[in-house]
Chain A
Amino acid sequence: MSDYNKEQGEEFSRNEFDRIADEAAKEGAYIPELDEDEKPPVFSSWNMMYAFVIANMLLMTVLLFLITKHYQ
């Protein structure tokens, strides 16, 4: 686990990855911590973008509901 943290943020080869992964597998559970990402296009944060996608889905569901009601 500690080996992975040392390497975090740096480029490392696939052999290095294999070695770290093997060690981690021996230790049992292994979930690396996440880095901060680049910002998404248009939106100020990823949460904003996710909210927009979910809101869009809700809007389509409501529209579909209204269409269904209208023609019932």
Chain B
Amino acid sequence: MSPIDWIVLFGTLISIVGYGAWKTRGSKNLEGYLLGNKEMQWWTIGLSIMATQASAITFLSTPGLGYESGLQFLQFYLGLPIAMVLLSVTFVPLYYKLKVYTAYEFLESRFDVKNRLLAAILFLVQRGLAAGLTIFAPAIILSSVLGLNLAFTNIMVGVLVIIYTVSGGTRAVALTQKLQMGVIMLGMFLAFFILIWKLPENLTFFKAVDLAGSMGKMKGLDFSFDLRDRYNVFTAFTAGIFLFMSYFGTDQSQVARYLGGKSIKESRTGLMFNGLLKVPMQFFILMIGIMVFVFYQFEKPPLYFNNVAWEQLESTEWEAKRNLQDEYDDVFEIKRSAALAFTDNPSEANRKTLLKQNTREKELRSQARDLVNKHSAKKVKDTNYIFISFIMKYLPTGLVGLLLAVIFSASMSSTSSELNALSSTTTIDIYKRIFKKDGSDEHYLKASKVFTLMWGLIAISFALVAHLADNLVELVNIIGSIFYGTILGIFVVAFYLKSISGNAVFRAAIIAQISVIVIFLTVDIAYLWLNLIGCSIVVLLAMLFEVGMEKTRPIEN
């Protein structure tokens, strides 16, 4: 990478961190630190919500998913607008009315302290793990591509985030996220236009879309019903809605974003902003991946995108590697001719030749992956390297640095929200509620800063020892899905089933959480369904327990 790219990368990151820390320095009270003095407007909230959800993995993995399976991943987000409306109607007004700092405070006023603590602890466990992964997942890819030490990359991202999150709390998180989203959108738009510009001269954007479509990349909806399949219409509008309800309604890293709103109107509008823009944004990122796919029909891509892993293959595999590479070179030349022929004349015969060569290319890639996995302890999916490999090789100097800043910014924006939420939950729901009930505002402010630092160090430590397998973007969602269903179930009972008491829902939640873990370990089912299963078990068992308790309850005067 050129010195200009390094300057752009570090210049962008340090400017954002410095500006965020300086502008929000010296929070004087707990409300200012945890709720940003409740002065945020809807566009800040909306951008903050989007930046929290869009981690670095989104910008590394999603174009790779577009490259591999086209628009299919978009279905995953179709239920999101419905979830935004449901939250806006039910959850947001209640949180405002009760003037809570965290979502879990509400559970004590509705049920009792044990339900509040259960939900808070489930959140701390899953989000604490996820925060480590949010740092580690992009670090493993970026360190490999940039030739940086993995531990250094983990620590660099972690420390930069800690600086402004400890210093400025929620306001610093929101302020930096606005800037980070600006850098992210600018970088992605520039990457998209350069990609289009780099396509062959006679290939217009619409012709490129036609080419992608003829190779199955424009299939956006899948109506086949399969419980093991994550991405189909039925999953999106059932399990998907439950996942987004849980994530945006009960995960403090998101709830904190809209609790900092100037008024209920700002918070609701921020959620609607996310409901309107999230699907188009994901469509755009997937389209970048699809255009990278089209670009690589004419320009030879590497056989294995993770170049470092490919180059490091042991000498015993050199012959197998050379044979694969030779065959791949031949297949690519035939495929390129077929792609050019199809562009000039999109006939069925040309399409069949193109598809046949594409299938052969996929087989060769699969063999290359098996070869690498045989010798590698860190099994990171090669799709995660597709976009970064394109950035490093084909984008002009300066823009490479900007795109890397996009990925680091996304990592930092998600991590800062997570640390902020972990700290507020630890301070309000655990420390203040259990250990020190009569502290001053200043005392809790200091405690919040200490807990932010503590969670930051835990996240870095976890990132340093994490060894991941398979797809990184999914691992975060899987961890979330295991816990979200139960937490959502508790909230659904709290909001909609007024007659159910704390004891009934607490027992139901414990059983539900154990059941979800057992189902996850023993049944072959798409992880999205765990949200619906966990939530349903809590609701149904809570109703049964309540009926049982009413029958055994003595008659009162």
Contact = CB atoms under 8 A, between A and B. Distances in A.
A2 interface: no
Say what secondary structure dominates the interface of chain A.
Answer: helix
Interface stretch (B135-143, B275-283, B377-385, B448-456): B275-283
A56 B263 contact: no
A61 B97 contact: no
Contact of A37 (B265, B495, B500): B265
On chain B, which size bracket covers the interface? 35 or more
B78 A61 contact: yes
A67 B71 contact: yes
A38 B81 contact: no
Given A14-B99, A17-B99, A49-B272, A31 B81 contact: no
Nearest to A11: B99
On chain A, which size bracket covers the interface? 35 or more
A60 to B, nearest CB: 5
A56 B219 contact: no
Contact of A68 (B84, B218, B269, B275): B218
A40 B89 CA distance: 13
B210 to A, nearest CB: 8
Contacts, number: 109
Nearest to A65: B221
A37 B110 CA distance: 23
B112 A25 contact: yes
Contacts of A38: 263-265
Nearest to B100: A17
A54 B82 contact: yes
B221 A68 contact: yes
A35 B97 contact: yes
B214 A71 contact: yes
B88 A50 contact: yes
Interface in B75-113: 75, 78, 81-82, 84-85, 88-89, 93-94, 97-99, 108-112
A67 B213 CA distance: 9
Contacts of A28: 501
Contacts of B398: none
Contact of A32 (B84, B94, B263, B500): B94
A18 to B, nearest CB: 9
A12 B112 CA distance: 22
Interface in A13-27: 14, 17, 20-22, 24-25
B522 interface: no
B81 A56 contact: yes
Contacts of A50: 85, 88-89, 272
A41 B219 contact: no
B257 interface: no
A26 to B, nearest CB: 9
A44 interface: no
B268 to A, nearest CB: 7
A31 B496 CA distance: 9
A65 B75 CA distance: 11
Contacts of A61: 78, 221
B111 A25 contact: yes
Nearest to B99: A17
A64 B220 contact: yes
Interface of A: 12, 14, 17, 20-22, 24-25, 28-32, 34-35, 37-41, 46, 49-50, 53-54, 56-57, 60-61, 64-65, 67-68, 70-72
23 contacts: A14-B99, A20-B109, A21-B98, A21-B109, A24-B109, A30-B110, A32-B97, A38-B263, A40-B268, A40-B269, A49-B272, A53-B272, A54-B81, A56-B276, A57-B82, A57-B275, A60-B280, A61-B221, A64-B220, A64-B221, A67-B213, A71-B213, A71-B218
Given A39-B265, A56-B81, 17 more contacts: A29-B501, A31-B94, A31-B495, A34-B93, A37-B93, A38-B263, A49-B269, A53-B84, A54-B82, A56-B275, A57-B275, A57-B279, A60-B78, A60-B279, A61-B221, A65-B221, A68-B221
Which 10 A/B pairs are nearest by Cβ-Cβ distance? A71-B213, A21-B109, A64-B220, A57-B81, A29-B498, A38-B265, A71-B218, A50-B85, A53-B275, A68-B221
